[in-house]
Structure 1
Amino acid sequence: MADDLSALEDWAGALLNKLQPKERRQLNTRIARELRRSQQQRMVAQRNPDGTAYAPRKARAQLRQKQGRIKRKMFTKLRQARYLKVQSTANTIGIGFLGRTARIARIHQYGLRDRPGKASPDTRYDRRELLGFSSDDLEMIRDRLVDHLSAN
C-alpha cells in the first residue's frame, strides 16, 4: 500500500507543482473531504482498509441480562465530522482525531492496552484500523487529480 501511495505521489508531484497554491489548496480540500467520507463509510461498514471485518467486541458481563444480543456498532460517534477532523493546505492533507478521541482511536488503530474504567484492569484491544488508505481511496485521489488537471 505504501508503494502505491509513493508511486501516486511521484506521478502527481510534478503536475501539482505547476498549479497555483490557491488551486492546490482547493483540490486538497475537496480530496480531503472525500477521503473523510470514505473513512466514515468504512467505519459504518466495520471494515479495515484491506476489506477485512473488524474484530468483534468482547462480551461484557455487566450488561443487563435479557434475551437476544445487544447490537451496537463500534465508533458511532468517532466517525462524526465533529471528531474526525480534516486539515488541508496547499501542500498537505491531514485527516485524524484530536484530543481524547485521538487517544481512543490510537488504541484501536494499533491494538494497544488501555484501562476502560478507573477500577478496571488493563485490557488489550484488538486491532481495528479506523484510518488508512484502501485501493479505492487511492483510485479516487488519482481520478480527482486527473479531473482537475484536465479541466485546466
Structure 2
Amino acid sequence: VMAQKAPDGTPYAPRQQQSARKKTGRVKRKMFAKLITSRFFHIRASPEQASMEFYGGKSPKIASVHQFGLSEETRKDGKKIDYPARPLLGFTSEDVQMIEEIILAHLDR
C-alpha cells in the first residue's frame, strides 16, 4: 500500500485529473496514507488464527470500495462514482507458495 502498488506488484490505477480550480491550495497525499495507520487498520493474532481488518468509521467501506472496484455515492447530490480496483490486501504468488509449503510441512508431521 505504501508503494502505491497492489499485492501482486502492479501499480494502482492513477487518480482522476482534477481541474486547476480544485487544485489550488490543496496538497495531494498518497492514496490510503491514513487508512493503513493503527487507528483504522488492526492486526490480531492468536495461536488459532490471524486477522487483518479495517476498523472504525468509514474506513471499512472505503477499503472495500477500493479493494473490489465498486461504485459509490460520494456527494450530497447522489452522483455515483466508479472506482477502479486498487487491492489493499491480498497474496502474491510467492506468498501462496510459502503458505502451501508450511501447510504441507505441518501435515507431514
**TM-score normalised over the length of structure 2:** 0.75
Unaligned runs of 5+ in 2: 103-109
- Residues 54-86 of structure 1 deviation map (CA, whole Å, 9 limit, x = unaligned): 0001122351358xxx64310010011221101
Deviations 1:72-111 (A, max 9, x none): 3100100112211012222111001023201100000000
Q: How does 1:24-39 map to 2 (within 5 A)?
A: none
1:48-87 matched pairs, under 5 angstroms: 48-61=6-19, 63-65=22-24, 71-87=28-44
Query: For the aligned residues, what is the CA RMSD?
Result: 2.6
Once the two structures are aligned, what percentage of the paired residues are identical?
A: 38
The structure with the largest alpha-carbon Rg is 1
Where do 1:3-152 residues align within 5 Å?
A: 43-61=1-19, 63-65=22-24, 71-99=28-56, 100-135=58-93, 137=95
Q: 1:72 to 1:88 in 2, by over 3 A?
A: same
Q: Which residue of 1 aligns with 2:106?
A: none
Distance 1:119 1:72, change over 3 A: same
Structure possessing the higher relative contact order (Cα contacts under 8 Å, 6 or more residues apart): 1
